[in-house]
Structure 1
């Protein structure tokens, strides 16, 4: 554990990655930003809190406290787009999801991107790989579960209203079909809507680590924020976003996610 990289080790065959819940902005980055609020606007709000029951199930969790504006540890480190031809954000984003500029002038140059990659991206993934290796030494199969969320309506990124559960498996390449079926069943037993490999098919982490033939099954879960927190309509401002975490409001989603993680464990232990 460091001041920005937080690891909780469990012995169950499940690793949960939280790449976008961080809100920290180093002073040398924050000074160049238009607004700290804009830089944090697209965080996966309250997701680590939503899943705080997972360690009790024996899961290992890995979280970066650093904002995705500093570096997005779920993007291809080469800078290649995960969704060619579609709007997205990069390794060191210079705009929000809505296309708003993040920096007063120029964003990070190539040298700074490389420095951030060495300082934050590489340690995060070294830790993630180490935990997967540790658990593969105990279990025949391990599930890597990428925990995410996003606002329900972002016209620049997708049309209409996003389903509550967005399962990503890199079109079936990152995990066994039996795991997908089990997670889908857990989602479909809830009150929430679901899609598999829709707009979000899994980020770099899911695609990079998902090697079913080698016993590592990676799956991404992108939640629409409205499933566990209030989403104000219309233009967002710092006065209304993010809305506070409310345990009662989040309870139905937590119950559904408990079943989802149990499905992952049952698959890995089968």
Structure 2
């Protein structure tokens, strides 16, 4: 796993702080770090070819971050995939490992490349390894500038050292843990399937499917697994769509390698409509929660049956 870390961490940042050029005075708030939960939690061990992940359901908002924001906590939570980790627990009980971030995406988003950052939100020298994409420049990079409902987060520009520390202390541990579990799974079973679980808001201008299955238009996951997911979900009375409007983010793109002939690694992003299980305004779960949790478990059970049939 050391090689994975070095592939993502530029040499200038490997010992940060204080050797990053142009960054001075970076200090970790140890009191906050001690009060916080670990940045990533894992439930279960490798017992099946499936790994479940919830990168956006984190609910620990550091007090210093909330105080620095121009938005109240209710607005900061607008992009949170609330309770997806809890919805996945019955599926986790069937054997797949569950990986979850405890930090919120508005603080650090592991579904973006590490250095996909809007440079305009920082002051001081910006390292040359920062490579913003179009989404990053729109304020939706690994350290977001905008909330999920398009409101600016910060009152003032941040020192780049703050972004570097969040990448090191939150983004890196999440991806190190996930990559390690996927490697373990492939070594044990010869292949693996990552189910990257998310939630999505209702879209007022058009009808929102209950589930959106994102496989990067076939580049991240074998069609047979997507077809199984569609069949099970539709059979339970939910509507589905493929890749529209969500084809899969950085995690699906980065980890989906279905055409690796030796040990294929499949990644399928599953977006679930939030109003199926909670009140979007209050984030309170409602009566649909249990039915949806059961549906996710039945989906995972069907995929495990697919693996069993393939190995016979």
TM-score normalised to the size of structure 1?
0.86
**Residue 152 of structure 1 aligns with which residue?**
202
Q: Does 1:228 align with 2:277?
A: yes
Q: Would the aligned equivalents of 1:70 and 1:93 in 2 still touch at CA under 8 Å? A: yes
How far 1:129 moved relative to its partner? 0.8
Of 18, 34, 40, which aligns to 2:54?
18
Structure 1, unaligned runs of 5 or more: 232-239
User: CA separation in 2, counterparts of 1:220 and 1:210?
Assistant: 10
Closer, same or farther: CA 82–101 of 1 in aligned 2, 3 Å? closer
Distance, in Å, in 1 between the alignment partners of 2:136 and 2:106 is: 21
Where 1:116 maps in the other structure, the secondary structure is helix
The match for 1:30 is: 66
- Of residues 195, 205, 217, the one that matches 2:266 is 217
Distance 1:268 1:110 in 2: 45
Q: Comparing 257-266 with 197-206, which one deviates more in the overlay?
A: 257-266
The equivalent residue for 2:296 is 257
**Does structure 1 residue 179 correspond to structure 2 residue 235?**
no
Equivalent runs, 1:7-156 vs 2, <5 Å? 7-10=42-45, 11-34=47-70, 35-79=72-116, 80-81=132-133, 89-106=140-157, 108-153=158-203
C-alpha spacing 1:222/1:81, structure 2 compared with 1 (3 Å):
farther
Once the two structures are superposed, residues 66-103 of structure 1 have per-residue CA deviations (whole angstroms, 9 ceiling, x without a partner) of 11111001112231447699x67221112122211112
Secondary structure of the residue aligned to 1:136 is: helix
Task: Output the CA distance in 2 between the equivalents of 1:50 and 1:183.
Answer: 17
Matched position secondary structure for 1:201: coil
The TM-score, its normalising length taken from structure 2, stands at 0.75
Paired residues of 1:76 and 1:82 also in contact (CA < 8 A): no
Shift of 1:114: 1.8
CA shift in 2, pair 1:219/1:126, >3 Å: same
Partner secondary structure for residue 279 of structure 2:
coil
2:135 and 2:141 in contact (8 A); partners too: no
Q: CA RMSD in A?
A: 2.1
Quick check: which one's helix share is greater?
2
Counting matched residue pairs gives 253
Asked whether the 8 Å contact 1:150–1:222 carries over to 2, the reply is yes
Q: CA deviation at 1:109?
A: 4.1
Deviates more, 1:63-72 or 1:89-98: 89-98
Residue 234 of structure 2 is matched in structure 1 by 188
Q: Residues of 2 paired with 1:17 and 1:88: CA distance? A: 24
Q: Quote the offset at 1:184 in angstroms.
A: 1.2
